[in-house]
Amino acid sequence: MNIQLLLTGNELMSGDVIDSNSAMIAQSLKDHGIEVSRKVTVSDDLQPLVNELIQMSQSADVLIVNGGLGPTVDDLTAQALAQAANSPLVYHDQALAHLATWCAKRGFQLNEANKKQAYLPQACDIIANPIGSAVGFKLDLNQCQIYCTPGVPVELKAMLNQQILPELIKQQPVLVHMHVTRWQVFGIGESTLQQMIGEQFPDWPDSIELGFRASMPLLELKLTSRSQVAFVEKQAWQQKLKAMLGEHIIGENNCSMAKTVVQLLAEQHKHFSVAESCTGGLIASQITSVAGSSKVFEAGIVSYSNQMKNKLLNVDQQLLAAHGAVSEQTAIAMLKGSLAISGADLALAVTGIAGPDGGSTQKPVGMVWLAWGNAEFIQTCCLYLPGQRYYFQHYVAAIGLDLIRRILINSQTAPLYLSQREFTPTNLEPAP
Amino acid sequence: MNIQLLLTGNELMSGDVIDSNSAMIAQSLKDHGIEVSRKVTVSDDLQPLVNELIQMSQSADVLIVNGGLGPTVDDLTAQALAQAANSPLVYHDQALAHLATWCAKRGFQLNEANKKQAYLPQACDIIANPIGSAVGFKLDLNQCQIYCTPGVPVELKAMLNQQILPELIKQQPVLVHMHVTRWQVFGIGESTLQQMIGEQFPDWPDSIELGFRASMPLLELKLTSRSQVAFVEKQAWQQKLKAMLGEHIIGENNCSMAKTVVQLLAEQHKHFSVAESCTGGLIASQITSVAGSSKVFEAGIVSYSNQMKNKLLNVDQQLLAAHGAVSEQTAIAMLKGSLAISGADLALAVTGIAGPDGGSTQKPVGMVWLAWGNAEFIQTCCLYLPGQRYYFQHYVAAIGLDLIRRILINSQTAPLYLSQREFTPTNLEPAP
């Protein structure tokens, strides 16, 4: 079944409004194994709308039109469909009755502008709107079922669930056994991952679709099967892939790094604290964005200046003078200060140069020292993550939390970024 | 000039990702008087992509393709364009050199998957990507200029501004006298603002288009003129509107609350510090996301537990026991602690209940105490901002920074939210 979407609205074309309705339609259909193949967006102009309706009806089995059902002059869906299907606009009794009830319930007078919402192509069937004033309508053109739906998300959703989806599901010749697994992965780039899969699983079956989505700093990996046979096959291949990815898997189904860390801390009844310089509170903020983080998070200290590193974290001033704020010694001292003050079981300290200013030949923008662990065992690393301030800060935060996560899962492997992103004089560009 | 967009990506079709790139492209073009007429979205499937490229090139003068430039097998834009334009895929030296530099800078080996990003239609010209690994490319097909751009928003934006927009503007047959003013506004809702303008300026001229865009927590107000005459007229009306909005205007042209505050602090050579409980580092993080904030930001203390409020900010334990963590007394004590430790000229302290748990009848989720000022003059307020944790935290951060901004601009008016969002027992729902 070829399903397409046609979205109308000047505000969608101009970018004043970001379209989320089409994502909602696609997700609702997908939950029932139905996929949307194509999506077109046009302005509120009559002739382009008519043309698009005709063209799309020639290639689609089902066309869901969204928007343009309102009472104002720029709402043109009914008029365009009337013209495309050569079916004159008439007042539909069922729609008029709905409007009358809707207005009466709210103490409004039914005015001419409202009545326009009942002036629809003669050949169409009405789709009830249990929430708003605009009824939907349905009409067949070129053997394509065209459903016209309102732009208000909650009204669209009700119409989808109550009428459109049940109709579509009934028409599906075969029940689709679709199953999706989503993993959030950190520390392997999209291209490296693709290559690893290609090399280690050259016989990966076509029936298990692989999808990748980079959403900085995590990468989402999606495995889709579309039949019962493929679903069984997927279970086995999924295990192999899981073994390959190992500790790079952060979680599944919209997990975030902070959520995983908070969950692990809570399970292990451990408390965490953080001392931040270059990330400026981002790590604390990510942790505390998770509901329930107060059970595991003690304190975050953003010591932006040397003086504050001394005053808040007890970093020795002579040490700062001797080694500088961005140094292994300072990172360790910040970590020890954080642990001592908070009494946390685990802590993380970061100090680096976020840029765009403040870099030098020896300590360039993008250089960062991390220290993590507890009073008994402290680890450190120095990484080089050049790029914009925003990416630097978010990448450092993700790596810092990943290092904490790896302690909590008792990781036995070293993450790739520790070697690949290690700061060494050789990956510095020559000074100008 | 007929401009169309073609967006590719399974994640866009499935609704897993909401497309915001097309809105960004449309907005960027619109600022220069260029409008997008049609937008099509398709999955990562070769043949439909080829068909769409051919069809769209027949009706558009310019086609901007977004997405599908990555290194993985589901990135098909180059292959599809090669097929559509009958131009074989070859390795482009300029693109290979870019990839080699990009990898070297990060200490990576250039692998086969990455090299795919240089394997492009022979006939195309390269568009530089100043940020990421994927270069863009350009090719003419059926007298349509096809620009292929990366899906990563920041890379797309750079490519648009640095190459595509300047090229399009040059081609405009008539110089369009379009002028756009954008203001970021805080503390007035969209409908209130619309009503205020309607009431105070009933004779607002049609030639000055008003646009609103809510982007939590700020509201963007856009004034557009499309002729020289309208531009002159706009200057006068803009002044009237500015007078009406007064201190609700935060800044112009993509300003953020934190950027404005950092700029004001820098101009006045003042230092700032923050003590956060319920916002958990978000305020510090927003301040330090601004380049150059190290000149004005001393320290942020995230004291999540009572113990940490005592230890880090010297909040008296008896005071905490008597009034609780969410109280005026605690907010003031946190503020005083923050000022004393950091030596900052100005500070802000927030303590509240972000939820979803931790609320009570007396102190419900959404209640927050703010204290701000300096050692000589401390102000406080208690607000009620019920809603999801994310919105609560971001709204509190914005209000906190706005209160600091108002001190820095020597504000003479009280912002509306202090009265509208004030916490009083009457705006509490009755206990169940």
Q: Which amino acid belongs to residue B16?
A: D
Return the closest-CA partner of residue B148 out of B77, B56, B74.
B77
- Predicted confidence (pLDDT) at residue B214 exceeds the cutoff of 70: no
- Asked if B288 and A282 come within 8 Å (Cβ–Cβ), the reply is yes
Predicted local distance difference test score (pLDDT) of residue B425: 63
Q: Does A287 lie at the interface with B, CB-CB under 8 angstroms? A: yes
Which of B23, B24, B299 has the CB atom closest to A303's CB atom?
A: B299
Q: Give the relative orientation of helices B389-408 and B257-267 as an angle to the nearest 10 degrees.
A: 30
Q: Does B2 lie at the interface with A, CB-CB under 8 angstroms? A: no
The more confident residue out of A304 and A122 is A122
Q: How confident is the model at residue B430 (pLDDT cuts 50, 70, 90)?
A: very low
Place of tokens 């209130």: B192
Letter string b/e over residues B302-340, b meaning 16 or more CB atoms within 10 A of that residue's CB? bbbbbbbbbbbbebeeebbeebbbbbebbbbbbbbbbbe
- β B119-121/B89-91 pair status: antiparallel
| Structure tokens, B91 | 């390795």
Return the closest-CA partner of residue B200 out of B248, B247, B242, B249.
B242
What pTM value is reported for the model?
0.79
Place of tokens 């809707």: A102
Place of tokens 């902070």: A258
Predicted local distance difference test score (pLDDT) of residue B109: 82
Question: Scanning every residue of chain A, which has its alpha carbon at the shortest distance from the alpha carbon of B292?
Answer: A357
Which uninterrupted H or E stretch holds A328?
Answer: helix A328-342
Which of B52, B108, B288 has the CB atom closest to A280's CB atom?
A: B288
Which of B16, B30, B112 has the CB atom closest to A213's CB atom?
A: B16
Q: Which amino acid belongs to residue B142?
A: N
Contact yes or no for A48/B37 (Cβ under 8 A): yes
Which of B18, B70, B289 has the CB atom closest to A190's CB atom?
A: B70
Chain A to chain B, count of Cβ pairs less than 8 Å apart?
270
Strand order in the sheet with A367-373: A378-384, A367-373, A346-352, A272-276, A297-303, B297-303, B272-276, B346-352, B367-373, B378-384
Place of tokens 């729609």: A95
Beta bridge partners of B4: B38, B63
Chain A residues in contact with B301 by the CB 8 A cut-off are: 299-302, 312
d(CA B344, CA A358): 22
Which of B36, B303, B389 has the CB atom closest to A291's CB atom?
A: B389
Return the closest-CA partner of residue A100 out of A83, A89, A114.
A114
Q: Per-residue pLDDT tens for A111-163? A: 777 788 999 999 999 999 988 888 999 999 999 999 999 988 888 999 999 99
Q: Does B23 lie at the interface with A, CB-CB under 8 angstroms? A: yes
Compute the Cα dihedral for A256, A258, A260, A262 and give only its sign: negative
- Predicted confidence (pLDDT) at residue B413 exceeds the cutoff of 50: yes
Q: What are phi and psi of B160, to 5 degrees?
A: -60, -50
Compute the Cα dihedral for A119, A122, A124, A126 and give only its sign: positive
Question: Which of the residues B37, B265, B301 would you substitute to probe the A interface, choosing the one with the greatest number of A C-beta atoms within 10 Å?
Answer: B301
3-state SS, residue A237: helix
Question: What average pLDDT does the segment A156-179 reach?
Answer: 82
Q: Per-residue pLDDT tens for A179-228? A: 889 899 999 888 888 889 989 999 999 999 888 877 778 998 989 888 88
Q: What are phi and psi of A183, to 5 degrees?
A: -120, 140
- Asked if B285 and A281 come within 8 Å (Cβ–Cβ), the reply is yes
| Structure tokens, B251 | 């800044």
| Structure tokens, A193 | 């991952």
Which of A18, A304, A384 has the CB atom closest to B23's CB atom?
A: A18
Q: Note whether ipTM > 0.95 here.
A: no
Q: Does B293 lie at the interface with A, CB-CB under 8 angstroms? A: yes
* Contacts for A137 with CB less than 8 Å, ≥ 6 apart: A78, A81, A95, A120, A121, A124, A125, A126, A127, A148
Chain B residues in contact with A211 by the CB 8 A cut-off are: 10-11, 74
Letter string b/e over residues A179-207, b meaning 16 or more CB atoms within 10 A of that residue's CB? bbbbbbbbbbbbbbbbbebeeeeeeeeee
d(CA B249, CA A118): 43
How many C-alpha atoms does A320 have within 13 Å on its Cβ side?
16
How many C-alpha atoms does A142 have within 13 Å on its Cβ side?
14
**Residues of chain B numbered 370-389 and touching chain A (CB < 8 Å):** 389
Return the closest-CA partner of residue B352 out of B272, B276, B274.
B276
Compute the nearest-CA separation of A2 from chain B (Å).
12
Of A254-258, A422-426, B295-299, the range with the lowest mean pLDDT is A422-426
Q: What is the pLDDT of chain A when averaged over all its residues?
A: 91
**Residues of chain B numbered 322-351 and touching chain A (CB < 8 Å):** 341-343
**Residues of chain A numbered 197-256 and touching chain B (CB < 8 Å):** 198, 210-214, 222
Contact yes or no for A406/A372 (Cβ under 8 A): no
